[in-house]
Amino acid sequence: MKNISVIGAGTMGNGIAHTFAQSGFKVQLIDISEESLKKGIDTISKNLDRMVSKEKISEDQKKSTLDNISTHTDISEAVGNADLVVEAATENTELKLKIFRHLDQQTSADTILASNTSSISITQIASVVSNPERVIGMHFMNPVPIMKLVEIIRGYNTTDEVTNKIMELSEKLNKVPVEVNDYPGFVANRILMPMINEAIETLYNGVAGVYEIDTVMKLGMAHPMGPLQLADFIGLDVCHSILEVMYNGFKNPKYAPCPLLTNMVRAGKIGVKSGEGFYDYSESRKAEKVSAQFSSK
């Protein structure tokens, strides 16, 4: 594989593009607007600058990484020669199905189609493709250039050949691929999201405050960040979407989003990217100040 197309220039998409490009692949980064693409490239450049300052890469490596990435607003022109397409659009089922229907028409039959979905069924996504055996899940972790894990999700029809190629490719990215089967939430979010939801329930029920809940989990369970801080980092809207996918998939009330989470998403207080969630990020992107909504509780 040499040519990789990445759909979506947001947090996950630009991280995936960065990772492939730094490993020497030619990357076509695709989004619907030039503004989104510029923002994505700016993020990649800043992240590379940080790596240069820490002496993890050289200036020449930064330049070659950026040179490996081209940007496109026309999906048709950007995927025609791709060996692999990685979809990293918003976690919305209908949007992903629309993208894969289009990819089915615009790519060759031997192009592997991967989704970075964190919870949506790969089998469902593959159902809109004429040859679903070439569809697979590549669930990267955020931040993509740093985190080692890639969940490799086989759909019902995904072939051994496709799975093996993606496992080997992930290793070439200096990642650790782990193969899992196609059930809502896969492994990572099936375990993580109920924990985050329970932390929100604990706050909602007045058991303890934001700082206290996160401190217990950091110091008592050796987690690098507390579950409420992590939820802010992921995005409360993303957490809510994943929980709804699992709740609808399993019909088990333990996956139902906490009412507090639902209300915060409706209010637009979705974490770091909106400037406020369980913490206030108006002055710093670090979780140093509890949101005023919770600071007196």
- Which tokens sit at 186? 């896969």
Catalytic residue status for 296: no
Catalytic residue status for 102: no
- Among residues 47, 119, 189, 241, the one annotated as catalytic is 189
- Among residues 115, 139, 170, 240, the one annotated as catalytic is 139
Amino acid residing at 256: A
- Among residues 14, 47, 115, 118, the one annotated as catalytic is 118
Phi, psi of 190 (to 5 degrees): -65, -30
Other residues' Cβ atoms within 10 Å of the Cβ of residue 16: 28
Catalytic residue status for 58: no
Catalytic residue status for 139: yes
- Among residues 151, 170, 197, 240, the one annotated as catalytic is 151
3-state secondary structure 142-202: CCCCCCCEEEEEECCCCCHHHHHHHHHHHHHCCCEEEEEECCCCCCHHHHHHHHHHHHHHH
Interstrand relation of 69-72 and 84-87 (parallel, antiparallel or unpaired): unpaired
> 207, 194, 192, 200: which is closest to 253 by C-alpha?
194
Other residues' Cβ atoms within 10 Å of the Cβ of residue 135: 29
Residues with a catalytic annotation lie at 118, 139, 151, 189
